[in-house]
Amino acid sequence: MSVTAAAVVLAHADPGGADRWVEVSGLLAVTGLGAAYGRGVHELWARRGAGAVVSRWRAAAFPAGLVVILLAQRGPVHEAAERSLAGHMTQHMILLLVAGPLLAAGGAGLPLTLAAPRRVRTVIARFRAGAAGRWLRRPLNLALVAAGVHTVVLWLWHLPKPYMWAEEDAWIHGVEHLSFTAAAWLLWATVLAPGHRGLGGPATFLLLFAAGMPAAALGAVLTLASAPIYPAGALAGPDPLADQQLAGLIMWIPMDVVMLVAAVAVFLRWMVRLDRSSPADRDLRPSREEIPA
């Protein structure tokens, strides 16, 4: 994750001095992370065959997530984020609802581990074998941690003081974007994991519901507030309250729609699998031998 940290340390400050070094470091880190993932996938496919372990669509999803991170930090999205809270919220939603899920869909755990130095692989193996690692490897435990981290990160950085700290310091802003991307990556990894490693349909449905409700609540707070919550410097336009309300809607509606669509898709897929495992022509009534006397 340290490489990812550098990848998203691309702040909104004017590109000059130390900020230029931050931007260059971020670009190099994104390139390095993509190269490490590609190396790990190549090694897996060389051993097992193309498309094995990590399917082709997963192999395409991870670099797409890295590209989205870069696009969110520069260009029109960055310019909009500089102008208003609503533009800034759009940037956050791109990281949370596009970049994070794409990185999670890439199934990067094994490829990045294979690409890591031997010493790092040894540390990872020891952690997985330890008590904490075994506890986190249980899908339900990991899902609860992911939902909790996602909620804390989302609320923390949208409180007025932390938000202004990030606006005033490039490195803090980078940490903010790192935490958004990492939290979304962790949450969606529990949803998009291969079937044998993920939660069941009902549990995933509840997970998405549990993660979506706090985000909807935060969007509602920003939208329905009767006065600006953030300092005047964070809001734009002749009507600062309108900027804040628009930012709340940008969080509220996309987050709810993505979570709802994903939850329904997961639940329907679970229902289809259940139906296939229990055909309609199968007699589910107990036989005489199974009925207690």
Burial class (CB in 10 A: 0-12, 13-18, 19+), 20: exposed
Of 32-36, 66-70, 247-251, 266-270, where does mean pLDDT reach its minimum? 266-270
Query: What pLDDT shows up at residue 250?
Result: 95
Residue 141 tokens read as 């435990």
3-state SS string for the chain: CHHHHHHCCCCCCCCCCHHHHHHHHHHHHHHHHHHHHHHHHHHHHHHHCCCCCCCHHHHHHHHHHHHHHHHHHCHHHHHHHHHCHHHHHHHHHHHHHHHHHHHHHCCCHHHHHHHCCHHHHHHHHHHHHCHHHHHHCCHHHHHHHHHHHHHHHHHHHCCHHHHHHHHHCHHHHHHHHHHHHHHHHHHHHHHHCCCCCCCCHHHHHHHHHHHHHHHHHHHHHHHHCCCCCCCHHHCCCCCHHHHHHHHHHHHHHHHHHHHHHHHHHHHHHHHHHHHHHCCCCCCCCCCHHHCCC
- pTM of structure: 0.84
pLDDT tens for each residue of 138-155: 888 999 999 999 999 999
Q: Which of 113, 140, 283 is nearest to 207 (CA)?
A: 140
Rounded Cα distance, 285 and 282, in Å? 9
Of 6-10, 24-28, 211-215, where does mean pLDDT reach its minimum? 6-10
Contact 73, 10 (CB under 8 A): yes
Q: What is the mean pLDDT of the chain?
A: 85
Rounded Cα distance, 153 and 92, in Å? 12
Query: Above 70 in pLDDT, residue 56?
Result: yes
Rounded Cα distance, 54 and 266, in Å? 20
Residue 232 phi/psi, 5-degree rounding, is -60, -35
pLDDT mean over 92-101? 96
In this prediction, residue 168 has a pLDDT band, given cuts at 50, 70 and 90, of: confident
Rounded Cα distance, 95 and 213, in Å? 18
Of 14-23, 104-113, 125-134, 180-189, where does mean pLDDT reach its minimum? 14-23
Q: CB under 8 Å to 93, separation ≥6 — which residues?
A: 250, 251, 254, 255
- The number of angstroms, rounded, from the C-alpha of 165 to the middle of its chain's C-alpha atoms is 23
Query: Above 70 in pLDDT, residue 288?
Result: no
Query: What pLDDT shows up at residue 6?
Result: 40
